[in-house]
Amino acid sequence: MIKGIIHILVFVLLTLITQIGGVIYLFSVLIIKRKKKRYRLKRFLVFASLYLFATYLVVPNTSSFISGRVQVQTNTHMRAHNFLTGLLNRNYVSKDLHESLIDIASKVNNRFHEIQLIYLDANFPFFDGFPLLPHLSHNDGKKIDISFIYNDQNGIITNRKPSNSGYGVFEEPKENEFDQTKECKEKGAWQYDYPKYLTFGVHKELSLNEKATKELVELFTQNPKVKKVFIEPHLKRRLRLSSSKIRFQGCKAVRHDDHIHVEIN
C-alpha cells in the first residue's frame, strides 16, 4: 500500500516537473520487477536512459506533429539560460513564436555583438492547458520568458545573468518610482515576489543594462505577432517604453522586474 502511494507520488511529481517523466517512470517500474537483484539501481538506469532518449530524440521530433510546438533553437544568437530548461522539457513554443524569436535574436546579435537572446521558461511540448508550474499561463505554446540584458562588474555588456535560475533578482523601484510589489502585497498577494526564493545562487556584481534591455523590449513590441509583453510598471516608466502591448500582469501573478514575459496571438 505504502509503496503504491510512493509510486503515485513519484509519477505525479515527475509529470508536473517534466510532463513526460511520469509515464516513463511507470514504464520502468513495470519492466524492472522487484524480484530482480539490485532492482532499484536497474530501475533508475532504465528510467534515466529512456528519459534522456525521449527528451533529446523522440519528443523534439514528434511535438510539432502532435501539438504544433517546436523546441527553441540553440545557436550563436539564442539559447536557454539554464541547461535544466531543456532537460525538463520546458523549452517548447508554437511555430509562430519560434519564428519571432529567431528574428529578434538575430537583431539583438546584430545590435549588440556577441550578445544572445537568453530565454527562461517557455512551455511543455504537448497538450494545451497542461500547466508549466509555477507559471499561470505557460500552457499553450504561445508564451515565453526572456531575460533582461546586463553589464558585468566592469560595465561591459554580458550574456551572464544575476541568478542561476534566471529569476528572483529584481530591479527594485527607486524612491521616486511606483512600487507595484508593495501595493500587491498589501492587497494580500503573498506570492507576488516569491521568485526571490528560487534564484539558486546570485551574482551581485551584475547590473541592468537599461539601454539594451529597452531595445530588447521594443524589438518584441514591434513584432506583429507579439500580443502582450509583461514588465513591471516602474521599469516601463524608467525605460520610457510606450507601446500599448506592454501590460501589467495583475497581482495574482508574480512580479516582472527580473524578466520579460512575451506572448503572441
**pLDDT tens digit sequence for 43-88:** 999 999 999 999 999 999 999 999 999 999 999 999 999 999 999 9
Question: Residue 3 pLDDT > 90, yes or no?
Answer: no
**According to the model, what pLDDT value does residue 32 have?**
84
Question: CA 230, CA 261: separation in Å to the nearest integer?
Answer: 5
**pLDDT tens digit sequence for 134-169:** 998 999 999 999 999 999 999 999 999 999 999 999
C-alpha cell at 217: 523590449
Average pLDDT, the chain: 94
Which amino acid type is present at position 39?
Answer: Y
101: closest CA among 116, 90, 113?
116
Which amino acid type is present at position 34?
Answer: R
Question: CA 4, CA 29: separation in Å to the nearest integer?
Answer: 11
Which amino acid type is present at position 173?
Answer: P
- Three-class DSSP labels, the chain: CHHHHHHHHHHHHHHHHHCCHHHHHHHHHHHCCCCCCCHHHHHHHHHHHHHHHHHHHHHHHHHHHHCCEEECCCCCCEEECCHHHHHCCCCEEEHHHHHHHHHHHHHHHHHCCCCCEEECCCECCCCCCCCCCCCCCCCCCCEEEECCCEECCCCCEECCCCECCCCCCCCCCCCCCCCHHHHHHHCCCCCCCHHHHCCCCECCCCEECHHHHHHHHHHHHHCCCEEEEECCHHHHHHCCCCCCCEECCCCCCCCCCCCEEEEEC
User: Could you tell me the domains of the chain?
Assistant: 2-65 (no CATH), 68-264 (3.30.1380.10)
**pLDDT tens digit sequence for 176-201:** 999 999 999 999 999 999 999 999 99
**pLDDT tens digit sequence for 57-66:** 999 999 999 9
